[in-house]
Amino acid sequence: MNTVPMDVAPLSEAEVRRIREDFPILNTEVNGHPLVYLDSGATSQRPRAVLDAEREFATTLNSAVHRGAHTLAAEATEAFEDARSTIARFIGADDDEIVWTSNATEAINLVAYALSNASLGRGGAAAERLRLGPGDEIVTTEMEHHANLIPWQELAARTGATLRVIPLDDNGALRLDEPVIGPRTTLVAVTHVSNVLGVINPIEQLIALAHEVGALVLLDACQSAPHMPLDVHALDVDFAVLSGHKMLGPTGIGALYGRRELLEAMPPFLTGGSMITTVTTTTAEYLPPPQRFEAGTQRVSQAIALAAAIDYLTAVGMPRIAAHEALLGQRLLDGLTSIDGVRVLGANIDLPRVGLASFDVPGIHSHDVGQLLDDRGIAVRVGHHCAQPLHRRLGVTASTRASTYLYSTEAEVDAFVEGVSATIDFFGVRS
Answer whether the bond into residue 290 is a cis peptide, omega within 30°.
yes
* Residue 193, phi then psi, degrees to nearest 5: -130, 130
- 6-43: burial string, b at 16+ Cβ within 10 Å, e else: eebebbeeeebeebbebbeebeeeeeeeebbbbbbbee
196 neighbors 391 (Cβ within 8 angstroms): yes
- C-alpha 199/C-alpha 173 separation (Å) is 9
Decide: residue 56, CB within 10 A, 0-12 exposed, 13-18 middle, 19+ buried: middle
- C-alpha 117/C-alpha 130 separation (Å) is 9
Active site residue 222: no
- C-alpha 63/C-alpha 304 separation (Å) is 13
218 neighbors 248 (Cβ within 8 angstroms): no
Per DSSP bridges, beta strands 276-279 and 284-286 are: antiparallel
Q: In the beta sheet, which residues pair with residue 241?
A: 220, 256
CA distances from 199 to 46, 49, 187, 203, 316 (A): 25, 30, 22, 11, 23
CA distances from 426 to 11, 202, 211, 371 (A): 35, 40, 52, 12
Helix (H) or strand (E) holding 94: none
Radius of gyration in angstroms for the set of CA atoms belonging to the chain, rounded to a whole number: 22
Catalytically annotated residue among 386, 388, 427, 429:
386
What residues have CB less than 8 Å from 51, skipping those under 6 apart? Answer: 24, 305
What residues have CB less than 8 Å from 22, skipping those under 6 apart? Answer: 47, 48, 49, 312
Catalytic residues, which ones?
A: 386
